[in-house]
Structure 1
Amino acid sequence: MVTNVVDLRSDTVTKPSDAMRAAMAAADVDDDVLGADPTARRFEAEMAALLGKEAALFVPSGTMANLVSVLAHCDVRGSEVILGDASHIHVYENGGISTLGGVHPRTVPNNPDGTMDLARIVDAIRNPDGALLYPTTRLICLENTHANSGGKCLSVEYTDKVGEIAVNHGLKLHIDGARIFNASVALGVPVHRLVKAADSVSVCLSKGLGAPIGSVVVGSEAFIDKARILRKTLGGGMRQVGVLCAAAYVAVRDTVGKLADDHRKAKALAEGLKKIKQLTVDSSSVETNMVFFDIVDPRISPSKLCQVLEQRNVLAMPASSKSVRFVIHYQISDSDVQYALTCVEKAVEELLKGGTKLEHLTNGTAKNSYWH
């Protein structure tokens, strides 16, 4: 029987590996705000090359990565960005592009696969003749993988078409690539090809890749020069950041090759959940490391299920008023998956019988918070 905690809340919960800790301890560092940290500079150069762009910038978080990217492209207040109505930038980043950048979001519905209809993107682009009345469209944002769509992958063909729309209308394209390496592995497409059409890409190092802290933004040298100033303005300029970049380098080096195994385990988890009649899950829709499942029995709520699972050392989070999300990461084993399935089955039985004493969740998630 598994006795450790099986943490399926997110792929952000991983602990640094021994190799990451060793790299952090041995990192050659200097003041990065002065542009002098050698480990940070090497890591940024390697990430830029890996994603096929001219330059890169390490930032503390994915939210800051997207924020500096949008603000760098939309450097005139009153600019407008076209993005999905279920996108992370629009839903989960505290409205930062508006509150801090004066950038107006124009949403287009996200399809179940995370895409936006191409015709709707075109229709959302403002006519320059209306500049007296309307915001000026300057940017399109995509998200790959698309978290709120279950970790779906945007194909290179789709991304290229959106890139063509941007070019034809004089716009820029930014990809929120928080889990872009998951998409690359799942699609079998090199990551640099997957983002070729983009003017900028943000990559979260602390999600699927398992680094303790940080994201990276890539783009042209001119774009990164602007992003660097914005990073400092937002308080993201750090000093001996090579300590963090050293761990991130190990994460990229060691974890990308494990992502396919994460996807396999997610699929196995989904197949197991299908066998529990009070739950529904479309296992064929599981493309990467995320599994969403609905609870069809009204006697069971996501918050109650998560509380009972926590009592059995399985941590999860409600995804909506009727669904729960599990996220696989490299520190989840096959035995962890099987243990989680056993616990879900027993938790369902326990809740149906009634009389279970439920305590407030202690895993850092409020009962009704639907988090990313």
Structure 2
Amino acid sequence: MRVYSQKFRKEWLQVREFQGWLAEGSAADRARCTVCHKELLAGKSELLKHARGKKHRTLVARTGPSTLPDQSCLSSVVDEDGLTHELRIVDLRTDSVTQPSREMKKAMMEAQLGDDVFSEDPTVRALEGRVAELLEKEAGLFVPTGTMANLICVMTHCWGRGSEVIVGDQSHLHLWAQGGMAQIGSVHHRSVRNLPDGTFSLTELRGLVRGDQDPQWPHTTLVCVENPHHTTGGKAIPVHWMDELGVLCSELSIPIHCDGARLINASVALGASPARIVQACDSVTLCMDKGLSAPMGSVIVGTKEFISRAVRVRKVLGGGLHQAGMMAAAGLWALDHVAPRLSWDHTHARALAQSVCEEHSSAITVDLKGVHTNVVLLHCDNIRVNAKKLCQRLACVTDAESEELGEQTVVMALAISDTTVRLVTHGDVRKEDVRATVRKLKYVIREYDNMMYLEYKISV
């Protein structure tokens, strides 16, 4: 049996009907439409048929050849029929998924190096001094991760046995650190209820503090606070509340540790310097690999005495690095070039939240006023959709969606509870990604709202 096949011909690029959208495909018998983001069987008659299609002409009229999508944002996948489709993949699970830019990599490769275990890495020393100066503390210490940084601070403050730490019940230290302070540090922790804005009642805190009056009690040694408070939606904790906490803890002679993983985001949201926000805190951690987009690393700051003790804890936890200057250089570059543009991440997050609000949906909602930084929490009604199903739907593209929107966008999100989905904007999210995500969110929300409408019609 004779099988007819047609190879792609470059001279077709000069045909008037094909100009501005036709490109070579993944194989000799494939062509690609850069407007519809799909592959076609090569053959002049097939391509002419595609060019005259209503969907294609609509997209060409809407986008035009001069405003084609940036192909660097797109990934190619092959479907079950062997045709290649171009997907825009927008990863909003967290802000630690960022890739270092070319300029950041250059700074890393050119960094001066030494052995940080001997305190001889000049780039690490520069980053530690820079962050200590930024937060107006005496000294700093570079460590591999934020989780380790917080654990080091807790263990350094709670040097003696029988210590107790008070933490918010929705804080990262309480929920997402595997109970490390108890599991590894032998430190007991007691939780205080976080309010919707990420703070907690200072009156309730006072009632939880225990001294050494009764030998059956652990001794309250430390209070931990998180700013911005991620689990409640990236809320920036007000400066006046931080000051009030400082006054109370000073009265009780209890130090304060601040988990400031995204502290620069809070600074941007509050319009206050990072040092002013943590003025009352005795120790602070700042992550380089979250909002600041570096590959790894966190910096602890505090007094010189506190940091010298923290060095010992870092050693026993395996956090002493050798030629760590490459990672520190990324942090220095991020402070200079990423920190000044964090407001864009906040703007993008607010645009996503605004698009959800505009749908006036009862299936998927958002608290627009609660979007302070780069975090958006979508709340599901758990009747038409729960968090896991919403994440699965955002991560796939249906034929109907592709036909109506004229694009194929995958949005990666994270379910943090049965009814809550988290979206986190970051430095790798571009304006085009935000626009595509907005269109995707609106389409998916209407899908779920129409499900209720159809159920209503059937029941009537």
TM-score computed with the length of structure 2 as normaliser: 0.75
Q: Which of 414, 434, 443 is the equivalent residue of 1:317?
A: 414
Distance of 1:117 and 1:337 partners within structure 2: 37
Distance of 1:142 and 1:71 partners within structure 2: 16
Larger mean CA deviation between 327-336 and 339-348 belongs to 339-348
Question: Contact 1:300–1:352 (CA<8 Å) still a contact in 2?
Answer: no
Matched, 1:72 2:156: yes
Distance of 2:161 and 2:356 partners within structure 1: 48
Question: Contact 1:281–1:292 (CA<8 Å) still a contact in 2?
Answer: yes
- What is the Cα deviation at residue 345 of structure 1? 2.9
Report the equivalent of 1:338: 435
Segments of 5+ residues of structure 1 without an aligned counterpart are: 355-372
Question: Contact 2:348–2:434 (CA<8 Å) still a contact in 1?
Answer: yes
Letter in 2 for 1:301: N
Report the equivalent of 1:263: 346
Larger mean CA deviation between 298-307 and 54-63 belongs to 298-307
- What is the Cα deviation at residue 299 of structure 1? 2.4
Report the equivalent of 2:284: 201
Matched, 1:293 2:293: no
Report the equivalent of 2:388: 303
Distance 1:241 1:219, change over 3 A: same
Report the equivalent of 1:359: none
Matched, 1:122 2:206: yes
Matched, 1:44 2:128: yes
Report the equivalent of 2:232: 149
> What's the CA shift string for 1:132-165, capped at 9, x where partnerless?
1100011000000001110011112111111112
Report the equivalent of 2:97: 13
TM-score computed with the length of structure 1 as normaliser: 0.92
SS of 1:207's equivalent? coil
Distance of 2:163 and 2:302 partners within structure 1: 20
- What is the Cα deviation at residue 344 of structure 1? 2.2
Distance of 2:346 and 2:154 partners within structure 1: 30
SS of 1:326's equivalent? strand
Matched, 1:53 2:53: no
Question: Contact 2:228–2:260 (CA<8 Å) still a contact in 1?
Answer: yes
- What is the Cα deviation at residue 325 of structure 1? 0.8
Question: Contact 1:305–1:348 (CA<8 Å) still a contact in 2?
Answer: no
Distance of 2:99 and 2:118 partners within structure 1: 30
Distance of 1:84 and 1:215 partners within structure 2: 21
Percent same amino acid at aligned positions?
A: 43
Report the equivalent of 1:109: 193
Q: Which of 295, 298, 305 is the equivalent residue of 1:212?
A: 295
Question: Contact 1:85–1:110 (CA<8 Å) still a contact in 2?
Answer: yes
- What is the Cα deviation at residue 301 of structure 1? 2.2
Matched, 1:329 2:426: yes
Letter in 2 for 1:215: S
> What's the CA shift string for 1:88-143, capped at 9, x where partnerless?
0011001010111111111100000000101011111103312x110001100000
SS of 1:129's equivalent? coil
Matched, 1:26 2:123: no
Distance of 1:112 and 1:125 partners within structure 2: 22
- What is the Cα deviation at residue 351 of structure 1? 6.2
Distance of 1:352 and 1:280 partners within structure 2: 11
Distance of 2:290 and 2:221 partners within structure 1: 29
Segments of 5+ residues of structure 2 without an aligned counterpart are: 1-68, 75-87, 397-408, 452-460
> What's the CA shift string for 1:216-258, capped at 9, x where partnerless?
1000001001111111100010100001000011111111111
Superposed CA RMSD in Å reads: 1.5
